[in-house]
A = this chain, B = another copy of it.
Amino acid sequence: MSLVVIGTVAFDAIETPFGKTDKIVGGAATYAGLAASYFYDKVKIVAVVGDDFPEAEIKDFNAHNIDTEGLQIKKGEKSFFWSGKYHNDMNSRDTLVTELNVLADFDPIIPASYQDCEYLMLGNLTPTIQQTVIGRLHNRPKLIVMDTMNFWMDIAMDDLLKTISMVDVLTINDSEARQLSGEHSLVKAAKKILAMGPKYLIIKKGEHGALLFGEGQIFSAPALPLADVFDPTGAGDTFAGGFIGYLAKVGTINFNNMKNAIIYGSALASFCVEKFGTERLKNLGDTDVAARVQEFVRLAQFTIV
């Protein structure tokens, strides 16, 4: 049994008020795969890169027990590249450069060894490609988690709705939930979105935490208040990867386990933003994660007598 992550593996160049980077490794599948690897040792990536992608980075995935057989390397082509600059409040950013490169005609290949997929993480990507991956798995995974963004709501709503109808858990942010549902109240938005197919909806609210809707219940998870957010890039992917990785570890899908999965995902995301790119995420000890989760416990717990 395995956890398959599909998404981008790419180069980012990032500028924040704290500094800027040259091309560093990023991408939804990179962040989600690394995050999941802290909980589950059978993480497998489906993605595409060009032959400019460093061999050492692939070895780094493998060192985290991440299977890269599904990572296509296109000879003579270049990897997807994104460059962005964050504003002072770190909540908004400008895209400076988007070079699709190998992503332009990405045809996700599922190796035979990936057909044991029990948990499927559909990282943010063209909705039709997300659908293709589901179609190419011989057995419907036990759990499909889908991340997406407003960009697809703007240009491919019908495809997006089709994909949403096929998944178990959708993760989007609050403004995307409002856009997708046409409702301002997140309670009403959640009701409409759950009627589109998913059994669970996670609304990510950045520094305000996250809301989980499903089984007629609501869970409100806090975000860890941070003195400095160094680089928010990949935080949402890290959250999603930690979330599904934790669920793959515990193996039982229910509301209570999802609550804890959100706390573990949030803990991983809180590490992600402490340094540029994947730097902090690549070098976490097990006690780091456990200690950070206890900070969430202290932050949120109260006892009514």
Contact = CB atoms under 8 A, between A and B. Distances in A.
Interface of A: 88-90, 184-188, 205, 207-209, 211, 217-223, 225-229, 256, 259-260, 263, 293-294, 297-304
Nearest to A293: B304
Contact of A302 (B90, B259, B302, B304): B259
A110 B89 CA distance: 45
A217 B207 CA distance: 18
A51 to B, nearest CB: 41
A225 B299 contact: no
B225 A187 contact: yes
Contacts of A225: 185-187, 211, 218, 220
B304 A260 contact: yes
Given A184-B89, A222-B222, A263 B293 contact: no
A209 B208 contact: yes
Contacts of A263: 302, 304
Contact of A218 (B187, B211, B299): B299
Given A209-B220, A304-B293, A226 B185 contact: yes
Nearest to A298: B217
A58 to B, nearest CB: 34
16 contacts: A90-B184, A185-B225, A185-B226, A185-B229, A186-B207, A187-B226, A205-B208, A208-B208, A209-B222, A219-B299, A220-B225, A222-B222, A256-B302, A260-B304, A293-B304, A294-B304
Contact of A220 (B227, B228, B300): B300
A167 to B, nearest CB: 22
B185 A228 contact: yes
A254 to B, nearest CB: 13
Contacts of A184: 88-90
A91 to B, nearest CB: 9
A172 to B, nearest CB: 15
A276 B185 CA distance: 18
A302 B210 CA distance: 14
A303 B303 CA distance: 13
B300 A300 contact: yes
Nearest to A262: B302
A219 B301 CA distance: 8
A229 B187 CA distance: 11
Contacts of A303: 256, 260
A301 B301 CA distance: 7
Nearest to A185: B227
A124 to B, nearest CB: 24
A70 to B, nearest CB: 33
Determine which residue in A186, A301, A303 has the highest number of CB atoms from chain B within 10 A of its CB, and name it: A301
